[in-house]
Amino acid sequence: MDLVINFLLVLFPLFLWQMFYLLHYIYQFEWVEKWMFAVFPVLSLIMCMTFPIIFIEPLLLDLRRIPLILGALYGGYKVALLLLSVVVTHRYLIGGEAFYNSFFILMLTAIFAGLMSKYYIKMSLKMKVLTSSVLIVLSLFFSTLFSTQVFHVAMVLNVRLEHLLINVIGMVIATLLTEVILINFALLRKSMKAEKMEVASHLAASISHEVGNPLTATRGFMQLLSDEKIPFETRKNYLEIAAQELDQAIDTINDYLTFAKPAPREKEKIFILEEIQCVVKDLTPLAAVNNVEINISFTENKDCFVLGDRKRFEQCLANILKNGIESMPKGGKIQIALDCERTSMITVTIKDEGIGMTKQQINRIGEPYFTTKENGTGLGMMVSFSVIRGMGGEIKVKSEWGKGTYFSITFPKYIQQDK
């Protein structure tokens, strides 16, 4: 039973290793990947040797060879030397006549496993299990032989067999678990790489579509202008349409640049209420066509300023309000509220009576290429989230299917410094 507990002490750091490795990919902890084959075997070694099973003095039975051999095989000779130094130091502190036996055999085991590392990594799973098992059997065999011949320490046969069996079974299980963890990490890397490639593919396709269409239309109108039979007024109309198409292409490119570089290009003091009123005025015709009423409620406050890019902030509000208008095909109301009462923060809330969103859609809102509209690209909300973050703000979304959507946007208030 004590040996089984010792075996669990070997497995426990493996689960810690998997947890920290996942954190490495989330938070980019470089030291986890570099030292993962050293840190966690050290934990296993210390715990196994701290809680050994004493059958016959002066020998202490434990499973220290499992983390020592695996760490050396997967980590190389540098890790092998580190683990060997930990084992020797800890064993010296424990004391006892068998110290020199442990030192000699474990030194040979660690060095041999470390030298085999570069060949071991390239082996198949079957050969890896076989190699690690053979190494631990040889290490235990020579350890027993050395202790009986040199130190004349007798050992009960069934105790030795039990110890050997537990070590071999533990080595097989630990090797398989290590391989499973490494395979999962390899799949994770491939998945992340494939996801990046997919995003790049979507980006290329979206740019080709969104920019290519207006440019193609512009080229067509430019070709028509070469026909001398076309009246002057018609040519003028063609030029206006071509200019509009070029403006559309420029706006699309700016959307992508805004997502890539959300920080304001030129920071300026923005009066929030004035910008809201300006955007609402521009969208009033669109709201009227869709039978949508936009109302603004605010508290009088002359210090309602934020720091950011005026044009991008207007674009952000316009994107959110357009989505609200388009979510109410049968008409409705959009309520905008501005709260400047707090000393350090400004809050803008936008509530519509549209079709709303599901929890899954709320979790994905703001992601590249995610949209709930049939002909949408997802750029509008992506840009809006980027702009708000670039201004130091925070956006929260609440929605319920069939009951509308609620946006809460919070900005740090700009306070003029006295000179």
Which CATH code, of 3.90.25, 1.10.1760, 1.10.287, 3.40.50, is assigned to 2-194? 1.10.1760
Which CATH code, of 1.10.287.130, 3.40.50.2300, 3.30.365.10, 3.40.50.880, is assigned to 204-260? 1.10.287.130
Record: fold of 268-412:
Heat Shock Protein 90 (3.30.565)
CB of 83 within 8 A of CB of 71? yes
Q: Which helix (H) or strand (E) holds 163?
A: helix 157-224
Which distant-in-sequence residues (6+ apart) come within 8 Å of 122 by Cβ? none
> Could you tell me the residue ranges of all domains in the chain?
2-194, 204-260, 268-412
* pLDDT in the model for residue 98: 62
* pLDDT in the model for residue 129: 92
Which distant-in-sequence residues (6+ apart) come within 8 Å of 100 by Cβ? none
Which distant-in-sequence residues (6+ apart) come within 8 Å of 339 by Cβ? 298, 299, 346, 347, 348, 349
The type of residue at 216 is T
* pLDDT in the model for residue 57: 53
The pLDDT profile of the chain, 419 residues, written as one tens digit per residue, is: 566 677 777 777 777 777 766 666 655 455 555 556 667 778 777 877 777 765 555 556 778 888 889 888 888 888 888 888 888 888 778 766 666 667 788 888 888 998 898 899 889 999 999 999 999 999 888 877 776 665 555 556 676 787 788 889 888 988 898 888 888 877 877 877 776 666 666 666 666 766 777 788 788 877 877 777 778 788 788 888 888 778 777 777 766 665 555 554 567 888 888 888 888 888 888 888 889 898 988 876 677 888 888 888 888 888 888 888 888 888 889 999 988 877 788 899 999 988 888 877 777 777 665 666 655 556 667 778 878 888 888 888 888 888 889 999 999 888 765 44
Coil, helix or strand at residue 51: coil
In this structure, how many other beta carbons lie within 10 angstroms of the beta carbon of residue 197?
Answer: 10
